[in-house]
Structure 1
């Protein structure tokens, strides 16, 4: 006997290796599927046709075959239903295992990385906008230092405010640092405004004392070199304007250099601030990653513990089910032995009953055969008598028939002789008549032939006469013609 721990499920319970097993099924899923479908595992075993015949001895083979087909069809239906339920149980277990993993909280690293990407995307836009505005302010053509100063102050104010706004990412510390940087930028812009607070327009520069001194110096040099006594006022104004324009260009160049230096310092400060923000972001990202990993580990530990508890519970249920199925199998085994003993007793009784029936049938058969033999002898004797009577009757009928045929033949011969004599007389008379008629016809034909010959001879005589007359006429005409020719010749001579 094989071990009861042999793995038997709904797909291999009827194999050759499971024939000696005490249990039909040992797989937990298969047993659970049978329990859900309210099917006993014994009902899934195939049964032989002989078992059905032993259970119902009075049934015929045809009825037993029909019952066997119905049982086999029902068994296959139950087996298919249990297999489908087993597949459904497997899917439910997989779903229970995968469901906790799918419900884990999302990692904070994704949120931190998205914020970092947004801040990094916003930073360059701020600095780029300030730089663009500064470059546009530097490129624009101006004729006064006041307008240049206003544009510089406006652009740096915007740059400092935008850089302060872009640095507000994580916590109050970052906001405080951004505020300090913005305050520092505004302080630099204010200092620059104090330096450029005075008006340096082209008119002011042309009327300033320095410009007047330089113009006077140029006038003296021109008078000394050219030997002129006086320089026109218009030339002095032109020289003053040129000097003022040159001074304005120098001032603009210095202003650009100062603005460029200020922008470089602001850019360095912004880069330092950005590096600090990136470090803070990385630190926050690592902290969030660690927190998420710790949560995942806790969740996995809890899930593992739940799975172990579920496995223990399932194992206990399996042990209980095995014990229940073992008891049920023992009970079924007892019932099967009782059925076998009952079937053996019934078989013995059935054999005795069949033997008695066979003896009675043999006696009845012998009596029936004797009765049939007697009937056969009687039938043979009556048939022989009937055959003799029939032969005598046939011989008598043959004699009478022969006599009648003989008389009929003699009468027929006489009738034929009489008919032959009459036919000869009639033939002779007809021959005589035909002979006379033939002679008459011959005479008519001869007469007709002679008449035709005479007519032909007469026509020939007439033709001969006509030919003679024509020959004579022709000869006469020739003669007359010759005579006429002779007379004509004579007349010519």
Structure 2
């Protein structure tokens, strides 16, 4: 929002109060938190946590250890600032009930002016940056405070100057160039919260009534708040623009006044003309000689006062300009000095890092040589031990082979004996098994004959019982069939009756569902229409506020007309 130069950091409910705050991802939801940040001179972006990857992206040439240290320093600084903002916000919340108490009607305008003056003094005190906050923000805040004082002095000078035309009394001592007086707190009053929204609230209420009357829909509270904030922002921008124009006009008036004074004093005939007029008056009336003497003395005194006042004004204006140049030069030199110090420290750290890495490499090489020698010695010892163990194993294997051959001969003898004994036992077992098999076969033949007789008897008995059961079942089936036919008839009548009732019920439910769907469709259409009306009302509300706050210059209107003509000439 800066146009044509720097402007004083007025307190707004947005990110324009801070440098490089337009691209912030911080969402301002609490006016008190924003007010605390503005009082302490802290950007809301600096209160957000930052990951190690973001720090590495900002310092791409740094090592891992340096990145960790930078991140830890940032976190400590962020927590400290967050703690300060929380404490100041708690103080603001505690002060609000005291400041918002009922006032006596007799206080009137004077009480309001004193309150606003006190608020301005608090604002001026809190806008100073704390000494612990280091970096480039110190220089920027000092420069903004200096611009504040200069513009405030120009505004005060413009108020103190008389509005009458430039008359012959301009050479009076009371209009001599004097240094800029400090501004009164009532001239720089600003709102510190959302409480000073009386005029925008009235405008928003009127616009909301008009829109509600036209659209026949209630405007939401959110749209009203957005409209009020838009009006407040537009009002603050207009006030800042007016102050800037007033300051420029006052500065131009001062320059023109100074130029006129220089031109008047530089004329050599001015004092001679005044002296000639006095001589003529003396010749006209010789009785008024004492008056002529007094007038000459008076003119001499006035010219002396004028010359002294002019010299003082020129000295003060030149001293102010010198101060401005000195401040700018100190600001530039501080920045250059800080940059050179930072580069020297970075180069020293880089050199220290290289020396440390070289020392580590040398130590590692010595350690590797020692480990290589140690490994070779250990390898020789292991080879000697392996050879000794191999010889020992060969001797032990030979001894074991001899012992195993002796044992193998003994085992063969014993195994032959066991095989012979086993063969004799198997022959005896085979003979006994044949005898048992013959006896079992005889017993089985007898058992089968007995079973055949029993089966013949059972078959005959089954034939007799089957005939009887067939007759009984036939009689029972006849009875069951007659009963089933009767039950089937009854069930069929019952099912027909239930089917008729179900059809009637389904028709009733279908009618009811159709009426319900028709009703829901109407309600949905009504809600959609209501939503469209509310959206249109909010759109009209914002469009009217934009129309009220829109201020296009003649150049902008000319550019818009040229663009429209080019679009009409070359249609897409």
Q: If the length of structure 2 is used for normalisation, what is the TM-score?
A: 0.27
Q: Which is bigger in relative contact order (C-alpha 8 A, separation at least 6)?
A: 2
TM-score by length of 1: 0.31
Greater gyration radius: 1
